[in-house]
Chain A
Amino acid sequence: AQSVTQLDSHVSVSEGTPVLLRCNYSSSYSPSLFWYVQHPNKGLQLLLKYTSAATLVKGINGFEAEFKKSETSFHLTKPSAHMSDAAEYFCVVSDREGFKTIFGAGTRLFVKA
């Protein structure tokens, strides 16, 4: 069975400081992993995905994530936060065929000026 746990419901950072949003997963298969972002009153947008190629994945808006199989983690990072990064972030695990896709509960990122 698959599951995904986002370890923090809220994260608050100052503008210009690094961002770390944590995600752990469990899967019986070799999973595909995704991060999505949801700005207020907007739809969900794909940030990046991991599908068994390079373990360090670069996404849009300067975000990246590293797949660590030994730690079953897929944490999302950004070197320097911007005010426009304030949003809800979802970690998602999917089996290879895409027949089972599970969302985490989400992490709300606050960015202080």
Chain B
Amino acid sequence: EAGVAQSPRYKIIEKRQSVAFWCNPISGHATLYWYQQILGQGPKLLIQFQNNGVVDDSQLPKDRFSAERLKGVDSTLKIQPAKLEDSAVYLCASSRTGSGSPLHFGNGTRLTVT
């Protein structure tokens, strides 16, 4: 099966600019996750979708971050305006719903905010 696709692979922007990331999950995976991984740390969940509904966005900085999952398939994550501390790798993952379903990760988008 095709893996989780993310784009772009790298992005460099200046602070206060906006940026968007795109994710295409594995076909048939109802659950989609966006994680932020700052250098030297473990991934932190930003938002989790079940189909096109939000299950958990408790750690999403909603004043600047937004995410949507159109038609329960593709998803975009947006940052507006970006801050220096947003520099990180943004990982998208998907999984089937149900007991013990592992997450399948994309290669991530490395964001550098200058």
B102 CB-CB contact with A under 8 Å: yes
- A102: B residues at CB distance < 8 A: 45
Shortest CB–CB separation between residue A9 and chain B, in angstroms? 9
- B100: A residues at CB distance < 8 A: 32, 49-52, 94, 96, 98
Query: How many residue pairs, one in A and one in B, have C-beta atoms under 8 Å apart?
Result: 63
Asked if A97 and B45 sit within 8 Å, CB to CB, the answer is: no
Among the 9-residue stretches A14-22, A38-46, A69-77, A79-87, the one with 4 or more Cβ atoms under 8 Å from chain B is A38-46
A100 and B55 CA atoms in complex are apart in Å by: 9
Asked if B98 and A106 sit within 8 Å, CB to CB, the answer is: no
A-B contact pairs, 25 of them (CB 8 A): A34-B102, A36-B103, A42-B107, A43-B107, A43-B108, A44-B93, A46-B104, A49-B100, A50-B100, A51-B100, A92-B103, A94-B100, A96-B99, A96-B100, A97-B97, A98-B31, A98-B97, A98-B100, A101-B45, A102-B45, A103-B35, A103-B44, A104-B42, A105-B42, A106-B41
